[in-house]
Each structure stands twice: as C-alpha cells, then as structure tokens.
Amino acid sequence: MSKYYVESGSVQLIIQAADARRAALWSVHRVMEQVLPLVEEVPDEMDQEPVGGMVLGDAITLNEQGFGRLADTQYDTMDVVAEWSQLMLVLDKIEGLARGVC
C-alpha cells in the first residue's frame, strides 16, 4: 500500500491505500462521516484524526511526496462523491440482505 497526501478545499489527509482512486474515495468517506454519521458506535478517539469542519473543493488532488506539491493525480470531486454514494448504497443493500430485511 502507498501513502497519499490528499488535498481538497480545507481537507488535508494522509491516506494509505492500494491506489490513488481508493485514497480519494476514503477521503470522501472521512469527510462525509462528519456530515452523515454512518456508524452507530462511538469511535475510539485515539483512532481518529481531528477532522471537524472539512470542506471539499472542486478537485481532489493526491501526491505521494507531501502536501503543497504538484498533484500526481487529480479527480473531480463530484465524480468521486458519486462513486462513494453508489458504494454506500450497495453496502446498505448487502447489510439489509444479511439481516434478512430485503
């Protein structure tokens, strides 16, 4: 796994992922957790970076060298958010199937 420095709007995260797209998706997930709490459990504070007030910009840029550098990879934020949303819908459906709800 590679380490990616992810920047978008006010967001700056260091994400370890198999590739840049997965790092971008995880970054969106971290931001969306602040808006739409997805887990009913209270997370261990030691496991979480302080991420309050994060706002995504128009693009998500990723670099393997550090923050403030030219982007190795860049994605349109809305494309990544749309993909994240589709993943969440599928996970919700799988969870429903596992519980026998669907």
53-98 pLDDT per residue, tens: 788 999 999 999 999 999 899 999 999 999 999 999 999 899 888 8
What single DSSP character describes residue 11? E
Q: φ, ψ for residue 28 (rounded to 5)?
A: -60, -40
> What is the rounded distance in angstroms from the CA atom of residue 33 to the CA atom of residue 27?
10
Residue 9: left if φ>0, alpha if ψ -120 to 50, beta else—which one?
Answer: left
On average, the pLDDT of the chain sits at 86
**What local confidence, expressed as pLDDT, does residue 8 receive?**
96
Give the pLDDT band of residue 37 (cuts 50, 70, 90). low
CB 24 within 8 A of CB 74: no
| pTM (two decimals) | 0.79
Contact 75, 4 (CB under 8 A): no
